[in-house]
Every structure is written in structure tokens, then in C-alpha cells.
């Protein structure tokens, strides 16, 4: 355990409240977390009240309960989500409450569960929270995704350590990745935010028509829609409040054109999805759609993901992350997208963020679709970047310019 762990956790809680959600006086707060993280959640709740919130609601989940439910409930039980569960979260969302999703689940918590039930559950969740996702993806409220380690997760990352040592080590790493161990964490985030916005500004001025990826097993072209916006680090909510959607975050990202993806891409890090791991997989695209796929690990889970709905076979995000980044340099595989996506260039299957398109936040579904933005009940990032990846941008005149050389920024 590092010195002043308690102090660092307090700093982390303050970061989530002031930099992440940026809780405003009188604002309501909705937190989703796992029971294992309760002690830390109490710190976050206290900081949120100190920031002036008048109603901080915590909705707890439990990995063991999830396993038991999947073991004993019949298939039909996973085909829908009770309306009151949806209503609770929507009540806060419609009220502009700040939202925190604190991830702790073991990345393979559901590996022994029936894949059909898992797929049905993920699909039902996607459908039930479609409106919530739409509001979130257009920044109707401030939202933050962050993490706190559970024992099972820590043991998966550090199998050779004791449970307690593993949790301490994973927690230390998480605090490092969110800059909670810097002298002035808030200042560190301001600097980091500035750096990422500079990269996004450069790409926005270039307004490339397409990106070309090459790496071992990857030869892919991704068209970018007219009016696409590269984003990074902080976002601004409908109420005009700056917030950080992911902590940590190292990515600069935009929307791909849903019909202009061609070629093959291979994953570079395992993907944990629905409590299962998918690895050593490749996807082949034609005119935007996955037309062929293979996975050595988790093939059925990947199949379930691609069949979430008819648009889950199309891309909704393209993100650039240098191979030389804090998370990547920690040489730790977290088996969790929040961390692994920030160690590697990645793409997402599923819906595209409307805020990555000029005027997108105000567009109807039909308008977004016409502009080339995919819409789906799923949005799942998967990692494709490595030290051998080259990416170039294609200009309006058809010239090719380097964006990434050997896994790192070319500018």
C-alpha cells in the first residue's frame, strides 16, 4: 500500500466530483457502482454533497448476484428490463443530474454463464436504455465513467500477487492513470485537457476525407463524414458545464462514415464484453458492414455483440491513442475497455456520438443517419493499435499525410 492511500482516495473522489462530473450547486447526482466499492463510493457521495448537491443517489450492483441471476433465472427473464429500473435512472437523466458509472466488475465475471442469456441481457439493456444512451451521447447531462478495483478484477490483472496486494497494485495504477498522485491533480488535468484539444484542433483543421490504417493483420480504410469533429478530453453538457466523460482518457476521437469502411482489422488487446473475454479476432468490412469475422477466444460472445441489432455490424467511433501513453507504458493489461482503450488506437462497433458532428446534437435520428452516423443499441470499443501501426489521412485532394507513424503521433 502506498503512503497516504486514504488521502489519495479522497483526492480521487474530489477529481471525480470536480473534474469528472463537475457537480454544480443544487444539482442531483446519480451514481452506479458495485457493492465492493462502497467505501470509496461513500467518499464520492460526501464530496458531491460538499460540492452543493442536494440529492446523491447510488444504485449498487453486485457481481455475485449477477452470476446467481444468470444461473437460476430462465432465459425469458433476460429478454426485458423492468420499467421501474429504467424510470429511476431516467428520472435523474431528465432532471440534468450528473451521472457517474464506477466500474469494478471482474472482466470475466460471467464467463461460466450461458452465452444466450448474456446476449439477451445485453440486448435487453441496450433496448431499455436506448433513450438514456441517446441523451448521454449527446451530452444532455454531465457524465463520467471511472473505475475502482474489485478483488476478482485485481487478481485477473495480477494473478501472481495475493488478493490484497493485487487490489493495492491495481488501485495504485488507476490513481496513476487518473493523475491523482500528481502534486496538483486538477492542474494536471487542465494541462492534459489542453494537450488533447490541440491534437483535435489540428485534425479538425485538416478535415480529412478518410483514414488509412496499416499494421500486421490490419489493412483498413475508414471514410469520415462531412462535418465530423475530432473531440478529446473534456465535453460540455447541455447546461453549459464542462465535464470529463472518461477518467482516465488519452484519446482523440471522431465518427466514421457508417457506409465507408473497407478492409480488415485485427484486435491488439483482448476485449472484455458482457463479463467475457474476446481475443485474437479480426473483422472484415465491406461498405461499412462487417461481412466476415473470426475469434479464437469468445467467438459466440462476439457473434452476440455483432447481432445486438442490425447496425451493430457498423462502426460508430474511431479513436487515436499514441502507443507511448501512460497506460500503455504501464505495460499492464487491465482487461477493461476504459483503461485498455486509452492504451491503444481503437474503433467502436455500434452507435456514433452526435456531438462529433457539426450540428449533430440537434439532429433527429433520420438526419444523423443521412449524415453517415451509425445508430445502434450498442457501443463497444475494441483495441487495434500497436507499435507497428501507421495511419494516414486522405485530404480532399486525395493526398496522403501521416497521422501516426509506428504507433505514435506524426505531428
Query: What minimum distance in Å lies between the beta carbon of 213 and Zn ion?
Result: 15
Would you count residue 250 as binding Zn ion (CB under 5 A)?
no
- Tell me how far, at minimum, the Cβ of 385 lies from Zn ion, in Å: 11
Cell 465475471, residue located? 109
Closest distance between Zn ion and the C-beta of residue 271, in Å? 12
Minimum CB distance to Zn ion smaller for 145 or for 154:
145
Residue closer to Zn ion, measured from CB, 29 or 288: 288
DSSP 357: B
Count the helices and strands in the chain (H runs, E runs): 13, 20
The interface region with Zn ion, picked from 62-70, 243-251, 284-292, 326-334 by CB under 5 A, is: 243-251
CA distance 200 to 43: 34
**Closer of 168 and 341 to Zn ion (Cβ):** 341
CB 24, min distance to Zn ion, A? 26
* Piece of the chain touching Zn ion by CB under 5 A; list 57-65, 245-253, 301-309, 403-411: 245-253
DSSP string, 93-108: HHTT-EEEEEE---TT
Q: Which is nearer to Zn ion, 154 or 315 (CB)?
A: 315
Give the whole-angstrom CA distance, residue 118 versus residue 302. 12
Distance (Å, whole) CA 136 – CA 237: 9
Cβ 348 to Zn ion shortest distance, Å: 4
Q: How far is the CB of 150 from Zn ion (least distance, A)?
A: 22
**356 in Cβ contact with 229 (< 8 Å):** yes
Nearer to Zn ion, 262 or 337 (CB): 337
With respect to Zn ion, which residue has the nearer C-beta, 9 or 319?
A: 319
Q: Is the Cα dihedral 253, 257, 260, 263 positive or negative?
A: positive
Query: CA-to-CA distance for 281 and 15, rounded, in angstroms?
Result: 36
Parallel/antiparallel/unpaired status of strands 98-103 and 143-147? parallel
Report the site for Zn ion in 271-300 (rule: CB under 5 A): none
Cα Rg for the chain, rounded, in angstroms? 20
Judged by CB, which is closer to Zn ion: 129, or 158? 129
Buried b (16+ CB within 10 A) or exposed e, 232-245: bbbbebeeebebbb
Q: How far apart are CA 315 and CA 298, in angstroms?
A: 20
> Shortest Cβ distance from residue 319 to Zn ion (Å)?
4
Q: Which of 389, 409, 136 is nearest to 251 (CA)?
A: 409
Beta bridge partners of 173: none
Q: Which of residues 54-83 bind Zn ion (CB under 5 A)?
A: none
Binding mask 373-392 for Zn ion (x = CB under 5 A): --------x-----------
Q: How many residues bind Zn ion (CB under 5 A)?
A: 6
Pick between residue 166 and residue 349 the one whose CB is nearest to Zn ion.
349
Q: Which is nearer to Zn ion, 41 or 283 (CB)?
A: 283
Min separation Cβ 52 and Zn ion, Å: 30
Return the bridge partners of 253, or none.
231, 319
**Alpha-carbon distance 207 to 396, whole Å?**
8
- Phi then psi dihedrals of residue 265, to 5 deg: -130, 140
**Of 133 and 215, which CB lies nearer to Zn ion in the complex structure?**
133
Q: Which stretch binds Zn ion (CB under 5 A): 64-72, 87-95, 169-177, 342-350?
A: 342-350
x/- track of binding to Zn ion for residues 302-341 (CB under 5 A): ---------------x-x---------------------x
d(C-alpha 384, C-alpha 274), whole Å: 19
Query: Mask: binding to Zn ion, 3-22, rule CB under 5 A, as x and -?
Result: --------------------
Site for Zn ion in 147-206 (CB under 5 A): none
Q: Does 348 bind Zn ion (CB under 5 A)?
A: yes
The CB density around residue 146, as the number of other CB atoms within 10 Å, is 22
Beta carbon of residue 382, minimum distance to Zn ion (angstroms, whole number)? 9
CB of 219 to Zn ion, least distance (A): 22
Query: CA 399 to CA 122: how far, in whole Å?
Result: 42
Q: Does 231 bind Zn ion (CB under 5 A)?
A: no
Site of interaction with Zn ion (CB under 5 A): 251, 317, 319, 341, 348, 381
Amino acid at each position: 500500500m502506498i503512503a497516504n492511500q486514504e488521502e489519495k482516495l479522497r483526492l480521487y473522489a474530489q477529481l471525480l466530483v470536480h473534474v469528472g462530473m463537475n457537480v454544480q450547486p443544487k444539482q442531483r447526482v446519480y451514481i452506479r457502482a458495485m457493492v465492493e466499492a462502497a467505501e470509496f463510493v461513500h467518499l464520492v457521495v460526501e464530496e458531491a454533497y460538499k460540492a452543493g448537491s442536494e440529492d446523491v443517489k447510488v444504485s449498487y450492483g453486485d457481481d455475485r448476484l449477477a452470476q446467481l441471476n444468470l444461473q437460476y433465472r430462465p432465459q425469458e427473464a433476460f429478454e426485458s428490463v423492468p420499467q421501474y429500473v429504467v424510470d429511476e435512472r431516467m428520472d435523474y437523466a431528465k432532471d440534468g443530474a450528473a451521472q457517474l458509472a464506477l466500474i469494478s466488475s471482474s472482466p470475466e465475471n460471467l464467463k461460466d454463464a450461458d452465452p444466450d442469456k448474456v446476449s439477451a441481457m445485453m440486448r435487453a439493456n441496450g433496448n431499455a436504455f436506448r433513450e438514456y444512451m441517446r441523451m448521454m451521447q449527446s451530452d444532455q447531462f454531465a457524465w463520467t465513467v471511472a473505475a475502482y478495483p474489485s478483488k476478482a478484477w485485481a487478481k485477473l490483472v495480477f494473478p501472481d500477487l495475493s488478493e490484497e496486494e493485487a487490489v493495492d497494485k491495481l488501485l495504485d495504477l488507476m490513481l496513476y492513470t487518473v493523475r491523482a498522485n500528481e502534486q496538483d491533480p486538477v492542474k494536471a488535468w487542465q494541462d492534459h485537457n489542453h494537450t488533447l484539444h490541440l491534437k483535435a484542433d489540428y485534425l479538425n483543421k485538416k478535415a480529412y476525407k478518410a483514414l488509412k490504417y496499416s499494421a500486421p493483420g490490419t489493412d483498413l480504410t475508414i471514410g469520415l463524414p462531412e462535418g465530423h469533429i475530432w473531440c478529446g478530453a473534456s465535453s460540455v453538457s447541455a447546461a453549459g458545464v464542462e465535464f470529463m466523460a472518461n477518467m482516465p482518457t488519452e484519446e482523440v476521437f471522431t465518427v466514421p462514415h457508417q457506409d465507408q469502411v473497407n478492409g480488415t482489422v485485427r484486435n491488439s488487446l483482448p476485449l472484455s464484453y458482457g463479463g467475457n473475454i474476446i481475443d485474437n479476432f479480426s473483422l472484415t468490412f465491406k461498405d461499412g458492414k462487417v461481412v466476415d469475422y473470426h475469434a479464437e477466444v469468445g467467438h459466440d460472445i462476439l457473434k452476440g455483440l455483432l447481432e445486438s441489432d442490425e447496425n451493430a455490424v457498423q462502426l460508430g467511433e474511431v479513436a487515436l491513442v499514441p502507443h507511448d501513453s501512460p497506460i500503455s507504458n504501464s505495460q499492464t493489461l487491465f482487461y477493461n475497455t476504459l483503461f485498455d482503450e486509452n492504451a491503444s488506437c481503437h474503433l467502436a462497433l455500434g452507435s456514433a456520438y452526435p456531438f462529433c458532428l457539426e450540428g449533430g446534437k440537434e439532429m433527429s435520428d433520420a438526419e444523423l443517419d443521412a449524415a453517415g452516423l451509425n445508430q445502434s443499441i450498442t457501443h463497444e470499443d475494441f483495441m487495434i493499435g500497436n507499435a507497428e501501426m501507421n495511419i494516414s489521412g486522405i485530404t480532399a485532394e486525395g493526398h496522403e499525410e501521416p497521422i501516426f507513424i509506428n504507433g505514435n503521433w506524426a505531428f
